[in-house]
Amino acid sequence: MAIFKSRSNLNRPDTTLLIVVGLILLFGLIMLSSASVAVGFNRFGDGGFYIKRQLVALVVGLVAFYFCYRADYHRWQKYSFPLFLLSLFLLVLVFVPGIGVGGYGARRWLDFYFFRSFQPAELVKLSLILYLAAWFTERGEAVMRNFKTGVLPFLGLLAVLFILIIKQPDLGTLLVICWIGLVLYFIGGAHPKHFAAIILSGLALLALAIKLAPYRLERVTSFLNPWLDPQGAGYHITQALYAIGSGGIFGVGLGHSRQKFLYLPEVTGDSLFAIIAEELGFVLTSLVIALFLVFLWRGSRIARGASDNYGKLVAVGITAWLVGQAFLNIGAITKTLPLTGVPLPLMSYGGTALVMTLAGLGILLNISKTSRV
């Protein structure tokens, strides 16, 4: 196939990055297996329900990883716009009765029969990176610094995503997508004044979104003082803090968490980090953070040494996506940031997220083969 006629066989891929990703993935599977036993048995009568499904997604994800690793990353520049349009179309389908699937007060999934619970927002993250990288590369810095030709189209794009995702509603994913867009816009040649104005406008919109939705406002107030209502709005964060505090330096032992027995909500998703802290303690939990920091270092190194601007922007986008989401999750569950419902990349349960993440990592490793650093 033409897509595999790569110009990027100059070097070996970044083996350090590959090892780091493998360690995070393996660590995540072990901890998900431990954390999901009680909730899996309670909901489905099978303590291994979640880990079995995650392993199936892992197989699909590894196929996607291999395909994206083998494909010359320059090819994605050509297909980035159709892929982005497809992801927008799938976002719209979420609201179509009979196709879109709701749960927990949200509509974020699609039922394709052959691929149930597909989450289009995860595809949007990757397709947005590929499309913005192509867009900024083709237009150049001079065009992007112009308000009419650069700022307005960029804001229009974010506005479309804002409307589609906030209606699901999924504020956490929206924050990640806005973070990706802003990082790429800044690296792609944003005028400092325009960039500052966009940041301030975004904060105002975020404040409005919080004010208009009572549950979002409750998350902010519970962040400021979760002990005001520990059995209500502050329940999630107080239980997470109990788990983290119980772990101490060395943890209570793998598989011996108490909070996973239906005390802490979302133990397979955005609360997984709290179970890691409870069972493994401060020392090994710090290792997880260190692995993401090493990922940041290697991803930045790949971006800095990329052979062209498109590769540089894609590498920056993928690195910013995964590291930013990881620390948004960790910050929320440790009460450094308000709860957002964002999963921990490569570790939390979620088939679509795992497949899209591994696809993005395949592209990043393909770029690493051309790195001059």
Give the start-to-end residue ranges of the domains of the chain. 2-368
- All residues at 6 or more sequence positions from 118 whose CB lies less than 8 Å from its CB, including other chains: 90, 109, 110, 111, 112, 352
Please, what is the end-to-end C-alpha distance for the chain in angstroms? 30
- Among 101-105, 160-164, 314-318, whose mean pLDDT is lowest? 101-105
Strand, helix or coil for residue 106 = strand
pLDDT over 60 (residue 2): no
| Banded pLDDT at 62 (limits 50, 70, 90) | very high
* pLDDT of res. 341: 79
pLDDT above 90: percentage of residues in the chain: 53
pTM (predicted TM-score): 0.90
- Among 42-56, 222-236, 256-270, 326-340, whose mean pLDDT is lowest? 222-236
* pLDDT of res. 154: 87
pLDDT above 70: percentage of residues in the chain: 91
Nearest to 314 by CA among 367, 370, 373: 367
pLDDT over 60 (residue 205): yes
> pLDDT per residue over 84-105, tens digit each?
999 999 988 888 877 777 666 5
- All residues at 6 or more sequence positions from 130 whose CB lies less than 8 Å from its CB, including other chains: 76, 77, 79, 80, 83, 84, 314, 317, 363
**What tokens appear for 240 in the block?**
């997470």
pLDDT over 90 (residue 212): no
User: In Å, what is the CA distance from 262 to each residue of 40, 190, 265?
Assistant: 10, 47, 7
* pLDDT of res. 5: 44
The per-residue pLDDT of the chain, averaged, comes to 87
Strand, helix or coil for residue 148 = helix
- Among 21-35, 84-98, 191-205, 211-225, whose mean pLDDT is lowest? 211-225
Q: How far apart are CA 350 and CA 341, in angstroms?
A: 13
Cα–Cα–Cα angle for 335, 338, 339, rounded to 5 degrees: 95
The larger pLDDT score, comparing residue 142 to residue 262, is at 262
pLDDT over 60 (residue 153): yes
